[in-house]
């Protein structure tokens, strides 16, 4: 690995946030950096061309692709240019590089080699969704995309069941329903959440409610870019006693609040630390008497 001492004064890596929706949201400094960078590393060069056209910017530097498929191989070349004193601008399709997008490997390599790294702050789907969700923002964590395989997805969410911070997830529209279903099963149908769709775009929509309610809404079909925000476990949340009378009363209380019986049983079972079937049997056996 070359070092700063090997190459004399190094250049600068600039991580530039790009609009997540409206081009007019682009920070003014973005246009300046695009016009003056020696090298622009873009996740999608075609999107870069559309962006610069919309911004009225003429690129003078070299443009190279930098995406998940070539990130490992391209990083050494970009680092070599940086060590030679060039200014490299890294842009992804939308939002801030390194946040569920290419960038981490290059930043880590620059830090190790002593190359200066800075950023053009700007649009972020994570912070935008968190801010508009209406959920607690004093402490939060970003969990990115959930695993695609159901077993891995369930295990990941089970590990977050006791997480007290508000959680932010990215999800593809065609997997949003199964993701919400898995969250409902892991966190309970009454856990407050928000599904943020097409943030800052013309058809922006923020749907808020319990996870059980959001599952029903998502069953109608979802399109667009999706960010999901889920409230963390409440500190000192009350558990439910496991005797039959307490279980029946807890289910009835949730039903009175508008929660479906199925979701109420799931939530009570989770709070009591019991299998769903056991709570189901307690509730329905009492009705059959």
pLDDT of res. 267: 82
Tell me the two tokens of residue 42: 């873009």
Entry pTM: 0.77
Report yes or no: 64 and 40 within 8 Å, Cβ to Cβ.
Answer: yes
Please name every residue paired with 42 in a beta bridge, in sequence order, or none if there are none: 65, 91
Confidence of residue 8 (pLDDT cuts 50, 70, 90): very low
| Integer-rounded Cα radius of gyration of the chain | 24
Report yes or no: 212 and 33 within 8 Å, Cβ to Cβ.
Answer: no
pLDDT of res. 103: 93
How many beta carbons lie within 10 A of that of residue 127, not counting itself? Answer: 16
Tell me the two tokens of residue 133: 């969700």
Percentage of the residues of the chain whose pLDDT score is greater than 90: 71
pLDDT of res. 67: 95
pLDDT of residue 144 exceeding 70, the answer is yes
What does the pLDDT average to over 97-105?
A: 91
- Interacting residues of 179 by C-beta distance below 8 A, sequence separation 6+: 146, 153, 169, 171, 228
What does the pLDDT average to over 103-120?
A: 96
Confidence of residue 189 (pLDDT cuts 50, 70, 90): confident
17 versus 276: the higher-pLDDT residue is: 17
Q: Residue 201 and residue 124: Cα distance in Å, rounded?
A: 13
Report yes or no: 222 and 207 within 8 Å, Cβ to Cβ.
Answer: no
Q: Give which of 10, 102, 99 is closest to 65, Cα–Cα.
A: 102
Q: Residue 168 and residue 95: Cα distance in Å, rounded?
A: 15
pLDDT of res. 243: 78
- Give the pLDDT confidence of 225-234 residue by residue, as tens digits: 999 999 999 8
Report yes or no: 146 and 159 within 8 Å, Cβ to Cβ.
Answer: no
Confidence of residue 289 (pLDDT cuts 50, 70, 90): low
pLDDT of res. 120: 96
pLDDT of residue 1 exceeding 50, the answer is no
Report yes or no: 133 and 207 within 8 Å, Cβ to Cβ.
Answer: no
pLDDT of res. 216: 92
- Give the pLDDT confidence of 50-88 residue by residue, as tens digits: 999 999 999 999 999 999 999 999 999 999 999 999 999
Sheet holding 226-230, edge to edge: 140-145, 166-171, 226-230, 192-197, 205-210
Percentage of the residues of the chain whose pLDDT score is greater than 70: 92
pLDDT of res. 286: 65
- Give the pLDDT confidence of 231-288 residue by residue, as tens digits: 999 865 556 666 788 888 888 888 888 888 888 888 888 777 677 888 888 888 766 5
Mean pLDDT score of the chain, rounded to an integer?
Answer: 90
């Amino acid at each position: 690995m070359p070092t700063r001492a090997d190459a004399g004064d190094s250049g600068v890596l600039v991580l530039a946030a790009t609009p997540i929706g409206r081009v007019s949201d682009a920070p003014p400094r973005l246009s300046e950096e695009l016009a003056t960078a020696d090298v622009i590393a873009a996740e999608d060069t075609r999107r870069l061309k559309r962006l610069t056209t919309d911004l009225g910017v003429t690129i003078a530097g070299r443009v190279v692709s930098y995406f998940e498929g070539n990130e490992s191989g391209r990083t050494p070349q970009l680092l070599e240019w940086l060590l030679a004193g060039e200014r490299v601008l890294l842009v992804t399709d939308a939002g801030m590089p390194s946040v569920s997008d290419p960038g981490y490997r290059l930043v880590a390599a620059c830090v190790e080699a002593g190359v200066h790294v800075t950023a053009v702050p700007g649009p972020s789907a994570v912070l935008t969704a968190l801010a508009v969700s209406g959920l607690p923002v004093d402490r939060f964590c970003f969990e990115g995309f959930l695993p695609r395989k159901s077993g891995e997805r369930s295990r990941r969410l089970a590990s977050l069941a006791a997480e007290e911070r508000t959680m932010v997830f990215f999800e593809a529209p065609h997997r949003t329903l199964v993701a919400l279903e898995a969250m409902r099963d892991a966190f309970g149908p009454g856990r407050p959440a928000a599904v943020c769709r097409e943030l800052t775009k013309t058809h922006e929509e923020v749907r808020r409610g319990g996870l059980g309610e959001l599952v029903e809404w998502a069953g109608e079909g979802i399109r667009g870019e999706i960010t999901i925000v889920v409230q963390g476990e409440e500190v000192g949340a009350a558990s439910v006693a496991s005797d039959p009378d307490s279980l029946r009363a807890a289910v009835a209380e949730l039903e009175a609040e508008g929660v479906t019986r199925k979701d109420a049983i799931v939530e009570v079972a989770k709070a009591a630390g019991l299998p769903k079937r056991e709570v189901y049997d307690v509730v329905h056996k009492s009705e059959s008497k």
